[in-house]
Chain A
């Protein structure tokens, strides 16, 4: 029942009166204040304009540079140093699809599991649960290249010793985006009101039955949004893959456990971008267009999903 709640007639009258008074006061303000106010608003608009101009310039530049290289060859041809006009992204695209499949396989069960534990089971007063919570928040902000080091020392070599295979890259990316999924899933689970749980429990369902039949179905849109955003982050991530063996020139279709090497879309873009020749620059830009279209589609779908199925209890 704040001042802003203008539903009641008397309230509405009061608000209108206050507004009129304020406006009258504003008109009497000293000139300096009015000028400063206008300048300030102008600066704010300038800030917004620069941010939007940066975004637009990035998109336009990618299209201007890459349109000449945009063709179906991008999807069907392997990369080539000798014939840039015929080079493409085929192994990189296949590699990225497999990497993402692995990320989803890992992140969905583990992410939802951890979120369910923290929201439904964990006793917040216990120090180890606080530790898990703080730890996840910190992990979400660790630089991606550090995950690359982890992947190199722990997954590719060291304890897991998988070697430079695609599955190792996939696991590295999965660990990188896991905190994002957990945080999003927790928010979705927390949004389910307690009355739903209590109703289910009162009808005699066990805790897990309640979660499986009530809590999870109600929170799926939120969780799906989080998973899509996390996957799109994993798709665009380059730095950790450089450390865990996404080699640059793979001219064959990679397999999950093949030891001959693998590639990924952003890594291939990076490599083309490093070459000064116009043709390779155009290829890099064309690859960026493909990535941006895919990511934009995924992110829009996630936002649509969130708005469409978000339940207001």
Chain B
């Protein structure tokens, strides 16, 4: 501070000095570089993720043909001869994600509309922290809940008889994991959608009410379309979370790869294959080890595409109303 102040004590009459530091200030530059390095570290993390996925994946494709991997539907690495058709576990992931979304989208959007249009400030003040608590529960706890409560106490008693193969006596089930994941992503859908709905200008509400619209009509025909990009973004992000979720599917969905969307079957998801195969003493050069990275690449690409779409959409609605 003292050095900077010298510029004000110039004798009168001399031409004004340019406003700049009197010394070179190498320390300032060093700090800037150090901070920039912290930012660059995040780019390095992404690079490292891509590099660590790509190497073994290429190694994997030297053993297993790409088309067999991408278009095969049998995922049986432990059989002799093994079959690596990734669709067998992509189906498991999509099975869980599909039913999770069918549960979470209505609940999440209903909660969002209630919060932004119906709830009194007091109700909102208690409801939002409750949702934050739900969002903060570890997924291993939700997985435990799914397999030891949702499945035996809710799905089995309520399932209509033999429908789709019946639910009685099944220890693992895609639907149990799906409901657990649904519960996990409800706060994501609710909070991002609510943000988008709150960003809709008041004038649109007032205009619709002035024309005699009911509350339901305002919510469905005015607020919902105006906030649509934010709502879609929240759903896409939730799907990405559902696809990437590991512990809930490991605990509740089983470990039997099946090319099916039937919710009462036990399935294996991509994440649970990775989590159950890459633990412990798997040897580095084996096909199984490399297959983990190939599956990881598929998972990474799938979630990356969804994340990019979601981020784009969130940006768009922010730009419109700010």
Interface band, chain A: 35 or more
Q: Please tell me if A291 contacts chain B, counting CB pairs below 8 Å.
A: yes
How far, in whole Å, are A243 and B289 apart by their CA atoms in the complex? 11
- Chain A residues lying within 8 Å of B190, measured Cβ to Cβ, are 51
Name the segment of A67-75, A76-84, A117-125 touching the other chain: A117-125
How far, in whole Å, are A179 and B278 apart by their CA atoms in the complex? 25
Q: Please tell me if B288 contacts chain A, counting CB pairs below 8 Å.
A: no
Within 8 A of A (CB), among B32-46: 32, 34-43, 45-46
How far, in whole Å, are A273 and B142 apart by their CA atoms in the complex? 11
Q: Please tell me if A52 contacts chain B, counting CB pairs below 8 Å.
A: yes
- Chain B residues lying within 8 Å of A236, measured Cβ to Cβ, are 136-141
- Chain A residues lying within 8 Å of B198, measured Cβ to Cβ, are none
Contact: B251 with A50, CB < 8 Å?
no
Minimum CB–CB distance from B157 to chain A (whole Å) comes to 14
Q: Please tell me if A22 contacts chain B, counting CB pairs below 8 Å.
A: yes
Partner of B216, one of A40, A45, A145, A237: A40
Q: Please tell me if A58 contacts chain B, counting CB pairs below 8 Å.
A: yes
How far, in whole Å, are A47 and B210 apart by their CA atoms in the complex? 28
Contact: A145 with B308, CB < 8 Å?
no
Q: Please tell me if B303 contacts chain A, counting CB pairs below 8 Å.
A: yes
Interface string of B37-64 (1 = CB under 8 A from A): 1111111011011011101100000000
- Chain A residues lying within 8 Å of B216, measured Cβ to Cβ, are 36-37, 40-41
Minimum CB–CB distance from A214 to chain B (whole Å) comes to 12
Q: Please tell me if A311 contacts chain B, counting CB pairs below 8 Å.
A: no
Chain A residue nearest to B117 in the complex (CB) = A44
Chain B residue nearest to A273 in the complex (CB) = B144
Within 8 A of A (CB), among B88-136: 106-111, 113-114, 118, 127, 129-134, 136
Contact: A117 with B38, CB < 8 Å?
yes
Chain B residue nearest to A143 in the complex (CB) = B244
Contact: B45 with A40, CB < 8 Å?
no
Contact (A238, B244) CB under 8 Å given A114-B35, A157-B284 = no
Q: Please tell me if B167 contacts chain A, counting CB pairs below 8 Å.
A: no
Contact: A299 with B136, CB < 8 Å?
yes
Partner of B40, one of A26, A109, A132, A139: A132
- Chain B residues lying within 8 Å of A284, measured Cβ to Cβ, are 144
Minimum CB–CB distance from B279 to chain A (whole Å) comes to 5
Chain B residue nearest to A30 in the complex (CB) = B214
Minimum CB–CB distance from A18 to chain B (whole Å) comes to 7
Contact: A62 with B4, CB < 8 Å?
no
Q: Please tell me if A266 contacts chain B, counting CB pairs below 8 Å.
A: yes
Q: Please tell me if B209 contacts chain A, counting CB pairs below 8 Å.
A: yes
How far, in whole Å, are A35 and B164 apart by their CA atoms in the complex? 36
Contact: B36 with A121, CB < 8 Å?
yes
- Chain A residues lying within 8 Å of B215, measured Cβ to Cβ, are 37, 40-41
Q: Please tell me if A102 contacts chain B, counting CB pairs below 8 Å.
A: no
- Chain A residues lying within 8 Å of B203, measured Cβ to Cβ, are 2-3
- Chain A residues lying within 8 Å of B303, measured Cβ to Cβ, are 141-143, 146
Chain B residue nearest to A15 in the complex (CB) = B206
Q: Please tell me if A149 contacts chain B, counting CB pairs below 8 Å.
A: yes
Partner of A145, one of B40, B209, B271: B271
How far, in whole Å, are A132 and B280 apart by their CA atoms in the complex? 35
Chain A residue nearest to B31 in the complex (CB) = A208
Interface string of B1-12 (1 = CB under 8 A from A): 111110100000
Contact (A113, B148) CB under 8 Å given A143-B271, A299-B132 = no
| Interface residues of B, Cβ cutoff 8 Å to A | 1-5, 7, 21, 25, 27-28, 31-32, 34-43, 45-46, 48-49, 51-53, 55-56, 106-111, 113-114, 118, 127, 129-134, 136-145, 147-149, 183, 186, 190, 202-203, 206, 209-210, 212, 214-217, 219-220, 237, 240-241, 243-247, 250-251, 271, 274-275, 278-280, 284, 292-293, 296, 299-300, 303-304, 307-308, 310-311
The 9 A-B pairs with the shortest beta carbon distances in the complex, nearest first, are A143-B244, A47-B110, A204-B4, A236-B138, A113-B38, A153-B52, A239-B246, A40-B216, A117-B35
A-B contacts, 5 of them at CB < 8 A, read A51-B131, A114-B42, A149-B296, A178-B41, A281-B148
